[in-house]
Amino acid sequence: MPHDSQLIFADHVGRFYARQYGFLPMAGRLWDTCLFVIRLSRRSMS
């Protein structure tokens, strides 16, 4: 589970991309979740 600071950062990133490029505001959290899953999979492989 991501930490609060990671979720807050993802929210800020999502708002930035929503304003600049018309992405959905949830895009930041989705991206953060993808990175979190990638990090977990790398740990389990090693």
DSSP state of 25: T
pLDDT of residue 19: 83
User: Is 0.85 surpassed by the pTM of this model?
Assistant: no
Q: Do 45 and 32 form a contact (C-beta atoms < 8 A)?
A: no
Q: What is the pLDDT of residues 1-46, one digit of tens each?
A: 667 887 788 778 778 878 888 877 676 667 767 777 777 777 777 6
- The total of other beta-carbon atoms located within 10 Å of residue 16's CB is 14
Q: Do 15 and 28 form a contact (C-beta atoms < 8 A)?
A: yes
Tokens linked to 8 = 């807050």
The rounded distance, in Å, linking the Cα atoms of 24 and 18 is 6
pLDDT of residue 6: 77
